[in-house]
């Protein structure tokens, strides 16, 4: 079972690409962005619409238009992006909220999974696009 859905992976790659361009102020067209990230333009347009609606990216129309991040890379976390695409990450149905599990009060597994769930969410909340760019830069310098 995958924790991150395919579309979430695509969007994470697009957001990192946009983060690389952020300081220059350059806009990236949806065609170039999806080509660089290696998936279809049609899917990319739909995903960019979702990111725009969630105010994670800005779009500029016109001949020299395109997309950019709506905030600094240091202000956008992986968890924020994941929440837009798949509504979070849950290790088990009982941790996703909503109706409780019928075994909730007697389940020893739930306690351990709930702890791991919190650690996972906190970890993803702590990683920003800027941090990803810094870690990629360090990796390239070390190679």
The helix (run of H) or strand (run of E) holding residue 59 is strand 57-60
Query: For the chain, how many structural domains are there in total?
Result: 1
Query: Would you tell me how many other CB atoms lie within 10 Å of the CB of residue 132?
Result: 17
**Alpha-carbon distance 140 to 133, whole Å?**
11
Does the pLDDT at position 109 exceed 60?
Answer: yes
**Alpha-carbon distance 67 to 65, whole Å?**
7
Does the pLDDT at position 34 exceed 70?
Answer: yes
What is the phi-psi region of residue 91: left when phi exceeds 0, alpha when psi lies from -120 to 50, beta otherwise?
alpha
pLDDT at 90: 80
Query: Would you tell me how many other CB atoms lie within 10 Å of the CB of residue 133?
Result: 17
The domain that holds 49 is classified in CATH as 1.10.10.10
| Token reading at 121 | 């969410």
Whether 20 is in a domain gets the answer yes
Tell me which residue range forms the domain holding 75: 6-142
Nearest Cα to Cα of residue 46 among 18, 76, 92, 11 = 11
Whether 1 is in a domain gets the answer no
Does the pLDDT at position 16 exceed 90?
Answer: yes
**Alpha-carbon distance 51 to 44, whole Å?**
10
Whether 71 is in a domain gets the answer yes
pLDDT at 73: 98
Name the average pLDDT for the chain. 88
Does the pLDDT at position 75 exceed 80?
Answer: yes
């Amino acid at each position: 079972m995958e924790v991150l859905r395919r579309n979430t992976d695509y969007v994470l790659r697009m957001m990192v690409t946009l983060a690389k361009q952020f300081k220059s102020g350059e806009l990236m067209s949806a065609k170039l962005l999806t080509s660089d990230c290696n998936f279809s333009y049609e899917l990319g347009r739909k995903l960019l619409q979702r990111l725009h609606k969630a105010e994670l990216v800005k779009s500029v129309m016109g001949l020299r238009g395109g997309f950019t991040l709506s905030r600094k890379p240091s202000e956008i976390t992986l968890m924020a992006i994941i929440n837009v695409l798949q509504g979070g990450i849950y290790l088990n149905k009982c941790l996703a909220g909503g109706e409780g599990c019928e075994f909730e009060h007697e389940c020893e597994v739930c306690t351990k999974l709930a702890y791991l769930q919190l650690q996972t969410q906190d970890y993803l909340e702590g990683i920003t696009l800027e941090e990803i760019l810094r870690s990629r830069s360090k990796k390239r310098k070390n190679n």
